Amino acid sequence: MNDATTHWVGLVVIVLAALALAWWPAAGIVRKLLASVDFTESRELPRPGLGRWIGRFERTLIVLLLIAGAPTAVGLVVTAKSILRFPEITGENPAMKPEYVLVGSLASWAIAVAIGYVATVLIEQLPAA
């Protein structure tokens, strides 16, 4: 195999592995973290399971942005999520506890950033195409 082939095969393997990590183990880690924290007076989740899918897509986007070399664009993802979640966690009787949303979001983002940066470092170690 020549260097170009090795580079592209390695790139595909690293990106797919990073995305797989962002989808499955990361979701389990965030779920276990949220289950371990006591959210007294927690409310019923508006749509159970929906947050898991949103988190997966969010982590996928963050990982891909980091691999693409656009770390500042991750701020747009964080901002968009914050704006969209704001109505759910504010007001007289919010649909969700703010602490629940913050802990879940911060854990999810931290995992995605870690995966994205590890993938980036591994990609930089590949032979030039």
DSSP 45: P
pLDDT tens figures, 80-119: 988 988 887 887 777 778 888 889 999 999 999 999 999 9
Q: First-to-last CA distance in the chain?
A: 12
The verdict on pTM exceeding 0.95 is: no
Contact 9, 124 (CB under 8 A): no
* Percent of the chain predicted with pLDDT > 70: 92
- The DSSP code for 127 is P
Per-residue pLDDT of 40-50, as tens digits, reads 655 555 566 77
Cα–Cα distance between 19 and 56 in angstroms, integer? 9
**What's the pLDDT tens digit per position in 28-79?**
999 898 888 776 655 555 566 778 888 999 999 999 999 999 999 999 999 9
